[in-house]
Chain A
Amino acid sequence: MELFIIFISAALVNNFVLAYFLGICPFVGVSNKLSSAISMGMATTFVMVLTAIVSWLLYNLILIPYSLDFLQIPSFILVIAALVQFVEMVIKRVSQPLYRALGIFLPLITTNCAILGLALFGSMREYSFAENVVFGVGAGAGFTLALIIMAGIREELDLADVPKPFRGAPITLIVAGILALAFMGFAGMI
């Protein structure tokens, strides 16, 4: 039950994009086509789950026992960068079509603040291992959901008559604002 609440909270109530503003860059940048939004969402979720596992192990088995937690920021970012590189190599070997679909998005994920945010939140809230993994899955699902909804809206928005200065990023942000309002409706769930 505890785990389920963490999942719902990360995916809907405290959605990473719409409540914590993490991962706004890909949210604005990649959400103009539905197909690339789905690929980006999948790639990010995948890396998020791996990060949740690895960062928990690193933090609780190495940094805390040796009281090195002041090295948290550099070590997390290095682990994430290495992880992304590793995932890229594995996917390239295992599945060429998947690599072609995710290829360009993977390097971008390194500088996606949602991933580092996930690792930092996990260590700040002192989650157990299982909780941290569920948190990663939930955050990834929430990110993918927000990205897909946004891409769907933006495909329609291309046909709308938007005032010229508001075309592009400004209208995207305003739509995101309305979407964030809608997501606030989930707040009553926990």
Chain B
Amino acid sequence: MKKQVSLSKEYLKGVWENNPILIQLLGLCPTLAVTVSAINGLAMGLAATFVLVMSSLLISSIRKIIPNQIRIASFIVIIATFVTVVDLVMKAKFPDLSKALGPFIPLIVVNCVILGRQEAFASKNNPGRAFLDAVGMGTGFTIALLVLGGIREIIGSRTFFGLQVLPDQYEPWLIMILPAGAFLTLGLLLGISNMYTDRKKRTEHESIIAHYKRVGREDIAEQLEVK
């Protein structure tokens, strides 16, 4: 039997270790398209999180009655239903935001993060765990969008959530709010996150070697050093 992971881990893995954008590289289309400003990124993140959480809950509760052959089609219909809910609510309550995000709210349907979590997690676990997993993945997704949107907004139009944060003397880099800026920012962000993960792994590895040297097992330490 598989070892059960603790509940807090179930939540936290989506935030950093398995962050859907920075580590798994899923759901890049909305990530790049809507993050011209922090508020857009946040709105998109929350909308996707809502869809992810609701569909994970529903799918994991009915996972035993969905026939295996048509599971993907059923997942997509359930996801599309919740996306329609979000789309109509946004249109009614926040018309400006809905216009700014354009077709990218309907496009949450084909966001691979959401379908991926249903297939990999919700369809195999109980609703409680599926809920935590979905909230965690949603948080990770929202944070990544917010960071990306924040960076692009500050550098590209010297504001953050619409408030001016950089002085007038600063000439905004127009490229950051153009499509090219999205690719460049995400590329750099991914590189930096890789660098951080690599460094962490290396220090862990070195501390293990140091431990073996301390306890007098030079042979194991040498073997590890070669790796």
- Chain B residues near A25 (CB, 8 Å)? 26, 28-29, 112
- Chain B residues near A172 (CB, 8 Å)? 187
A-B contacts counted at CB < 8 A amount to 116
- The number of chain B residues with a CB under 8 A from chain A is 42
Q: How far does the Cβ of A183 sit from chain B's closest Cβ, in whole Å?
A: 8
- Asked if B181 is at the interface of the complex by the 8 Å CB criterion, the answer is yes
How many interface residues does chain A have, given as a range? 35 or more
Q: Report if A116-B180 is in contact (Cβ < 8 Å); known contacts: A166-B191, A170-B188, A177-B187.
A: no
- Asked if A188 is at the interface of the complex by the 8 Å CB criterion, the answer is no
Q: How far does the Cβ of A117 sit from chain B's closest Cβ, in whole Å?
A: 6
CA distance A180 to B106 in the complex (A): 24
- Asked if B128 is at the interface of the complex by the 8 Å CB criterion, the answer is no
- From DSSP, what is the main secondary structure of chain B's interface residues? helix
B182–A21 touching, CB < 8 Å? yes
- Asked if B95 is at the interface of the complex by the 8 Å CB criterion, the answer is no
A74–B198 touching, CB < 8 Å? no
- Chain A residues near B178 (CB, 8 Å)? 180-181, 184
A121–B106 touching, CB < 8 Å? no
Q: How far does the Cβ of B186 sit from chain A's closest Cβ, in whole Å?
A: 5
CA distance A3 to B184 in the complex (A): 33
B15-52, CB under 8 A of A: which get 1 and which 0?
A: 00000000001101110110000000000000000000
Which one of A24, A70, A120, A121 lies within 8 Å of B88 (CB-CB)?
A: A70
CA distance A39 to B191 in the complex (A): 30
Binding site for B on A (CB under 8 A): 18-25, 28, 70-74, 77-78, 81, 111-113, 116-117, 120-121, 124, 163-166, 169-174, 176-178, 180-181, 184
Instruction: Jot down 14 A-B pairs with beta carbons below 8 A, ordered by A.
Output: A21-B33, A23-B29, A73-B80, A77-B80, A112-B110, A113-B29, A116-B107, A166-B194, A171-B187, A174-B183, A176-B183, A177-B182, A184-B178, A184-B179
| Other contacts beyond A73-B87, A81-B73, A111-B115: 5, CB < 8 A | A77-B76, A78-B73, A163-B191, A169-B190, A171-B187
